Amino acid sequence: MPELPEVEVSRLGISPHLQQQRIEQVVVRQRQLRWPIPDEVLALRDQPVLDVSRRAKYLLIHLPAGELIIHLGMSGNLKVLPQNSVAGKHDHVDILLSSGQLLRLNDTRRFGAVLWQDKNSVHPLLANLGPEPLLPDFTAQHLFQACSKRSSAIKLVLMDNQVVVGVGNIYANEALFQAGIRPTMPANQLSLPQAERLTAIVKQTLAKAITQGGTTLKDFSQVDGKPGYFAQQLLVYGRGGECCFSCNTELQEIRLGQRSTVYCPHCQPER
């Protein structure tokens, strides 16, 4: 699944092509994605794009009447193409622009979404989200307080969007390894110094991934079609059974919350 860095890379990629353009029409070939595409999206005509932002893993295209919300789901990607580009089997939505280009959503598994949020309202999917990890309101004190109330594994709390948004499976694995914290540790055992270290590492890891173009996944490519590059530097994710780069111990792979979790028994000791 595209994670926060991949979504941010997509935002950075599409923004120059959408800003100062008008949406002429939205062409929908498959209305049934994760949720049905609402009528408001189908009716969009002659709307100037004011801005393109991101909230968690949701892209928001700001228009005078509200926001077009796009989620990439498990396998979605966005590309900017000429309007005469032939659509493929999984090219479900085209947003036609006044520039003569279009923004195309391709989604093989159809777990993505194209939704609508009226001006001065908040869509239910966005209403209860926690702080953005790269903004100042995600602090060590915030993480420490959130963890103090939980006995579940620290990795699961770190991936809870009500605690902090956008720290998905790949980056949770990576950040916990770099912080020297075992993913299975009960969250309420997290100390404030550990919270300070983990918060800083989450910010560094995500920022680095964005700078390098996002993590390469088999279903993900940047808006210009190029793959990301950060996967070449992953330290633990996807490496279960291999040797730790730091200490040469065999990395262990388990399941937490039905997600693959990899850690080093030596570098991430039990408390």
Q: Cite the active site residues.
A: 2-3, 57, 259
Outline where DSSP puts E strands in the chain. 22-28, 47-48, 51-55, 58-63, 66-71, 76-82, 91-97, 101-107, 113-118, 252-256, 259-263
Joined together, the tokens standing for residue 57 give 């893993």
CA 60/CA 108 separation, integer angstroms:
21
CA 132/CA 151 separation, integer angstroms:
23
CA 50/CA 66 separation, integer angstroms:
10
Alpha helix (H) ranges present in 60-191? 124-127, 140-148, 154-158, 169-179
Asked if residue 4 lies in contact with residue 165, where contact means CB atoms within 8 angstroms, the answer is yes
CA 270/CA 67 separation, integer angstroms:
46
Strands 76-82 and 91-97, by their bridges, are unpaired
Asked if residue 185 lies in contact with residue 153, where contact means CB atoms within 8 angstroms, the answer is yes
User: Residues annotated in the binding site for DNA, as ranges?
Assistant: 90, 109, 150
User: Residues annotated in the binding site, as ranges?
Assistant: 90, 109, 150
Asked if residue 208 lies in contact with residue 214, where contact means CB atoms within 8 angstroms, the answer is no
CA 55/CA 238 separation, integer angstroms:
27
The DSSP element (H or E) to which 167 belongs, if any, is: none
